[in-house]
Amino acid sequence: MKQITLNTQREYECDVLVCGGGVSGFAAAVSAARCGVRTILIEPGGFLGGTATKGLVAPFMTCYDAEGKERIIKGLYSELEERLLEAGGAVAADRCLGENSYNGYRPMGHKGVMPFDGEIIKIAFEQMCLEAGVKLLYHTTLIGCERQGKNISCVYAADSNDIISVNAKMFIDTTGSAVLAYKAGAETMRGNEDGIMQTNSMFFTISGVDKAFVDEHMRKTKERRERFYMDAIEQGKKDGTFPCGTPTIRMFENPNGTYSVNMAQIDEQMNELSVEEITKGEIEQRLQIQKLIEFMRKNIPGLENIELVATASDLGIRESRRIVGKTVFCLEDIKDARKFEDRIAVCANSIDIHQKDRVNYTTHIGANYYIPLSCLISNSVDNLLTAGKSLSADKYAFAAVRVMPPCIAMGEAAGITAALAAANNTSAGEVPFKDVQKILIENGAFLD
């Protein structure tokens, strides 16, 4: 490997640097800045949202308890919802408690989802950041960092012209694949004990669905096979007209009447950290999507006239590298509904594992469960936190909280913790969790 010397052209200084502007990074940056510390957010794209926007993934999964009765993810998530509703960019979660086009007619685990408009949410994300005082640097990719002892001292990033360095007291890795943790030599994990990762998928959006027909089909057809046209899909797999392992029709109405489709899938295991494999996957997914559209037009009543509106600009990576934190959040913690003292969020999302031919939805025991702050704090680098997809968790706990509302809740807590550590010149692990909980509760979070 060639050694290169980085000549940096610009230098930035802040208290908290957030790397990665997906939903977790957005939440972390807003929350840190609202605590009054200088916060910078770097993002390789030209807008925020990550998987939610460039990945076209929608809707937000549920923010309700297991029975769909009480809203349990609140705080910044509720604020975002209000913001979107004001701008006409969402359907309120409490309108999606039944079984309807917005939750894909899936009562299990999908009560209280929130469909959103992918363009309006980009504006909401960035305006909330700017109002909080976050400095946004788009088109800026983390490429390395420097360490001094157990701390990261600065991050190197590349924009389209220059290499820059950002000095900060605290760093939050919300890259979705723990890039900063990896570059800093922090302990990380990837994959499962069986070596199997969740499948990856490219979302796409369609128009032209005969909503009245589909609604009526779903109303009168309760049997799952018939309801989601599983026989037609199986036949298509046999005769080669259905191009992947997805077993059911999976589409979700958006506020503007288009539908987000979660059906394309790379069936084989791939290395999501290899740019060559991602490129190949993206090229193949776009061709697969054309075949899926053709199949649906020919075989699924109500979808005869669909048109492709857009394919995601990036492949949706469900699972990637994660940090090893002070706690590894585990399946047992969910099963036992372990009420961590340092809990920062309450969730009820099912353990949702996508595999080649099926999706494993293992609902937990019917009780809510709790995410600890300590699974967001690196066990090996003192000023490094994460949120969202890179949390420290086993494959099951990860699969439960990888959806967007918990990611936002984690981001909110990580941002507050980083800000308190920066303000008091302590490590992330030294921040009293009660101080974080106090601010979360003041901001409307629910922690019981």
Phi, psi of 402 (to 5 degrees): -75, -10
Residue among 264 and 300 whose Cβ is closer to ligand FAD: 264
Binding map of ligand FAD across residues 193-232, x = CB under 6 A, - = no contact: --------x-x-----------------------------
The rounded distance, in Å, linking the Cα atoms of 51 and 213 is 31
Residue among 107 and 432 whose Cβ is closer to ligand FAD: 107
Question: In angstroms, what is the minimal distance from the CB of 312 to ligand FAD?
Answer: 8
Torsion angle in degrees (nearest 10) through CA of 413, 418, 424, 429:
80
The rounded distance, in Å, linking the Cα atoms of 424 and 447 is 25
Question: In angstroms, what is the minimal distance from the CB of 260 to ligand FAD?
Answer: 8
Cα 7 to chain center, whole Å? 34
Residue among 162 and 226 whose Cβ is closer to ligand FAD: 162
The rounded distance, in Å, linking the Cα atoms of 373 and 432 is 10
- Taking CB under 6 A as the criterion, the residue among 404, 416, 428, 431 binding ligand FAD is 404
Binding map of ligand FAD across residues 325-364, x = CB under 6 A, - = no contact: ----------------------------------------
The rounded distance, in Å, linking the Cα atoms of 403 and 260 is 16
Instruction: For the chain, state the CA radius of gyration.
Output: 21
179 scored as a contact of ligand FAD (CB under 6 A): yes
The SS3 of residue 253 is: strand
318 scored as a contact of ligand FAD (CB under 6 A): yes
> Are the C-beta atoms of 422 and 169 separated by less than 8 Å?
yes
> Are the C-beta atoms of 27 and 389 separated by less than 8 Å?
no
> Are the C-beta atoms of 322 and 190 separated by less than 8 Å?
yes
Residues 233 to 292: which contact ligand FAD by CB under 6 A? 262
Residue among 176 and 372 whose Cβ is closer to ligand FAD: 176
Count of residues near ligand FAD by CB under 6 A = 35
- Taking CB under 6 A as the criterion, the residue among 103, 165, 174, 188 binding ligand FAD is 174
Residue among 21 and 302 whose Cβ is closer to ligand FAD: 21
- Residue from 354, 415, 429 nearest 33 by CA: 415
Residues 127 to 156: which contact ligand FAD by CB under 6 A? 141-142
CB atoms within 10 A of CB 185: 12
State how far the alpha carbon of 132 is from the alpha carbons of 32, 38, 127, 281, in Å.
9, 10, 8, 37
Binding map of ligand FAD across residues 10-29, x = CB under 6 A, - = no contact: ---------xxxxxxx----
- Residue from 159, 161, 176 nearest 20 by CA: 176
The rounded distance, in Å, linking the Cα atoms of 430 and 152 is 16
> Are the C-beta atoms of 219 and 338 separated by less than 8 Å?
no
Binding map of ligand FAD across residues 45-64, x = CB under 6 A, - = no contact: x----xxx----x--xx---
403 scored as a contact of ligand FAD (CB under 6 A): yes
Residue among 298 and 310 whose Cβ is closer to ligand FAD: 310
389 scored as a contact of ligand FAD (CB under 6 A): yes
Question: In angstroms, what is the minimal distance from the CB of 320 to ligand FAD?
Answer: 8
The rounded distance, in Å, linking the Cα atoms of 68 and 183 is 41
422 scored as a contact of ligand FAD (CB under 6 A): no
Q: Which residues bind ligand FAD (CB under 6 A)?
A: 19-25, 42-45, 50-52, 57, 60-61, 141-142, 174-176, 179, 201, 203, 262, 316-318, 388-389, 402-404, 407
